[in-house]
Amino acid sequence: MDKRVSLVQMETGKRGKIVEIQGGAGMSLRLENLGIRVGEEVEKLSQQAMRGPVVVTIGKSQVAIGFGMATRVLVEMPEEVVDESSSNG
Amino acid sequence: MKVLLMGNPNVGKSVVFSRLTGIHVIASNYPGTTVEFTKGVMHLPEELGLSGETAEVIDVPGVYSLEPTSRAEEVAVEMLKEGDVVINVVNATNLERSLNLTLQLLKKKIPLIIALNLWDETGHTGIKIDVKKLEQILGVSCIPTCALTGEGFKELVSKIKEVKPGEYDYEEKERWHEVGNIIAQVEQVIHRHHKFRERVADASISFRTGIPIALLVLFAAFAVIRFIGEGLIGYVFEPFFENLWAPLMLKVSNLLGSDGVIHDILIGKLAEGKIDFGESFGLLTTGLFVEFGAVLPYVFAFYLILSFLEDSGYLPRLAVVVDNIFHRVGLHGMAIIPIMLGFGCNVPGILSIRILETKRERFIAATLMSIAVPCMAKTAMIIALIGKHGVLGLTMVFGTLLVVWVCLGILLNRVMKGESMEIFFEIPPYRLPCFRLLVKKIWMRFIWFLKEATPWLLFGVFIANILYTLGIIDFLGRYTAPVIAGILGLPKETAGALLIGLLRKDVAVGMLILLDLTFHQMVVACVVLSMYFPCVASFSILLKELGIVAMLKSAAIMIIFTLLVGGILNLVISNLLTNY
């Protein structure tokens, strides 16, 4: 079983696949323009303390996402973490 | 012919623009909006087989998509209708992100040519792009370019006349899918290890190291500004004024008969037959000295450092790190950019609060800036006045302003309805700033400041002289004494400095030199001068940007807070530091 978490709950340094964006069309479009789409794979780079923004790597770019927005992007992470030797880049 | 430059933000579009157009560039607002764009002229040289005419080039605001999600994107879509040719500037190191816009542009059937910019970086980032294949698929010319070195620009310009709309077509729903397909066909990524530069990049936004790095960068920036500023003053400007300018001014003084109204306005009072650039207070002595001997060296140093920080890509990272703090004061991380600009001069600072989306944020940012963000001119003069008594005084003045900034911000955030927006942006990779562009930017800012500040500064010195001569300052001092002496503990003559502070804060701080203040009074006076009201240039911009009602509110907050903070500071210091 895979577990579903938001970008905020996700641990720093982990990878996951975006499965749902809980927001209106406007927010989805903004996210989509920077490549945050359902089906894409993201890696969480950092999160600032006290409800600070999340930074993720998606494709070849890094995107900073405000706390509230990040809580509404849900990702699915493989339960067993065997990455580091992953084949894709 | 109208050529539009379009592309995502941070793909080096402005560098491409400056390559194509040269120096004569006009920045203007799109009618009815606060969205700014730049326009320039490009030559179509005959030796490249072109007509020898010129073409207008417009640097359209950076966008990710033609489905607008912001005002800037709406403007970009509007502008698209007026263009004859579009140069789509694409980030070759991140083709996937860029192609989304490219496909939308192709669908518009507008003549299009693609500049695969940052081409030189594809090598060491391990990316290989099959340009021929890409041209085949899209049906338009794709030219690898490097705006920094100028690679590919001849080819780009030579093709500008024969540009045709592309033939590529696709289902709108399937756009991302199409992008993926194209990438799979033309791009190859070679695996490589994390480089040093990326580790540094990651460290500057990570949870543990982000804030220490930010503090280090800001501290280093301040140290370098001070080093350059003091260096220029000590080794260039002071020697010039003391050794060359002072003797010349003494001659002028003799010519004018060492006395009289005109003499006093131009040269000021002589101290034992000598010119004292701090105290003479003439237009040609203190006036010029304040501008060139004290303020400009710091302003120059400041713009040097700020422009470097901007072009290196550090500021967006700083925005990430301070975002949570800024949310507490009703702003978000990106507000760090206007604030940083405000430390140079509040006028461009207030102008750039336009990047904030809501009225509430703009009001908070503008109010906080005009009360608690001291501009470089004022800072330089405060350093000149208090700095010689050691770091303690400076810490007290700037520390108080910081506390005011935070407290007032928290208060405004609580009182005003609404929430702060959230940040959402792409973080560009660190880049070594392009030297040519950096010099151009610093020069433009510096000249702007010189033009903007000099008349007001000289006018301030002039008015100060008139007010003294006519006894108006004495008169005002008598009537404002209950507030100035009673609450703030300052001599009544400070009224003069406060009055001139409405014109120029640096001149006002300069007037404090004449007053023989104690250390404790200097600290209070500097804080009060910083906070109580913006100078006339900032005031008019504030009025324009906020509107009259919000401006009045902002002004009321200023006055109340100044009296409150000045009064408390006076009590605290006089009780704690009686030995000074």
Q: Give the CATH number for residue A35.
A: 2.30.30.90
pLDDT in tens, B227-247: 999 999 999 999 999 999 999
pLDDT at A83 over 60: no
pLDDT in tens, B89-99: 999 988 988 99
The region, left, alpha or beta by phi > 0 then psi within -120 to 50, assigned to residue A50 is left
pLDDT in tens, B305-326: 999 998 888 999 999 999 999 9
For helices B472-481 and B435-470, what crossing angle results, to 10°? 90
H-type alpha helices, B471-518 = 472-481, 494-500, 505-512
Distance from CA of B173 to the nearest CA of A (A): 13
Q: B537: which 2 tokens?
A: 């240039």
pLDDT above 70 covers a percentage of chain B that reads 96
pLDDT at B478 over 90: no
Asked whether residue A86 is assigned to any structural domain, the reply reads no
pLDDT at B68 over 90: no
What is residue B121's predicted lDDT score, i.e. its pLDDT? 85
Q: Does B319 touch chain A (CB under 8 A)?
A: yes
Pick the CATH number of B2-192 from 3.30.300.30, 3.40.50.300, 3.30.310.10, 1.10.3720.10: 3.40.50.300
What is residue B34's predicted lDDT score, i.e. its pLDDT? 63
- Beta carbons of B423 and A89 less than 8 Å apart: no
What is residue B57's predicted lDDT score, i.e. its pLDDT? 93
Domain range enclosing A22: 3-77
Q: Does B179 touch chain A (CB under 8 A)?
A: no
What stretches of chain A adopt beta strand conformation (E)? Answer: 3-6, 15-21, 41-47, 54-58, 61-65, 73-77
pLDDT in tens, A30-79: 899 898 999 999 999 999 988 899 999 998 889 999 999 999 999 998 76
What is residue B403's predicted lDDT score, i.e. its pLDDT? 96
What is residue B15's predicted lDDT score, i.e. its pLDDT? 85
Distance CA B153, CA B519 (A): 60
H-type alpha helices, B31-174 = 71-80, 95-107, 119-124, 131-138, 153-158
What is residue B402's predicted lDDT score, i.e. its pLDDT? 96
The residues spanned by each domain of chain B are 2-192, 308-576
The answer to whether the CB of B489 falls within 8 A of the CB of B578 is no
Q: What's the pLDDT band for A1 if we cut at 50, 70, 90?
A: low
How large is the average pLDDT for residues B210-226? 94
Contacts of B96 (CB under 8 A, 6+ apart): A35, A59, A60, B179, B180, B183, B187
- Beta carbons of A46 and B202 less than 8 Å apart: yes
What is residue B27's predicted lDDT score, i.e. its pLDDT? 66
pLDDT in tens, B255-295: 998 888 889 889 988 888 888 898 888 999 999 999 999 99
Q: In a 3-state reduction of DSSP, which class is residue B209?
A: coil
* Its pTM surpasses 0.90: no
Distance CA B358, CA B331 (A): 10
Mean pLDDT of chain B, nearest integer: 89
Asked whether residue A88 is assigned to any structural domain, the reply reads no
Give me the number of domains chain A comprises. 1
Asked whether residue A21 is assigned to any structural domain, the reply reads yes
Q: What's the pLDDT band for B23 if we cut at 50, 70, 90?
A: low
What is residue B527's predicted lDDT score, i.e. its pLDDT? 95
- Beta carbons of A33 and B421 less than 8 Å apart: no
The answer to which of A16-20, A64-68, B117-121 has the lowest mean pLDDT is B117-121
Asked whether residue A68 is assigned to any structural domain, the reply reads yes
Distance from CA of A79 to the nearest CA of B (A): 25
Q: Does B301 touch chain A (CB under 8 A)?
A: no
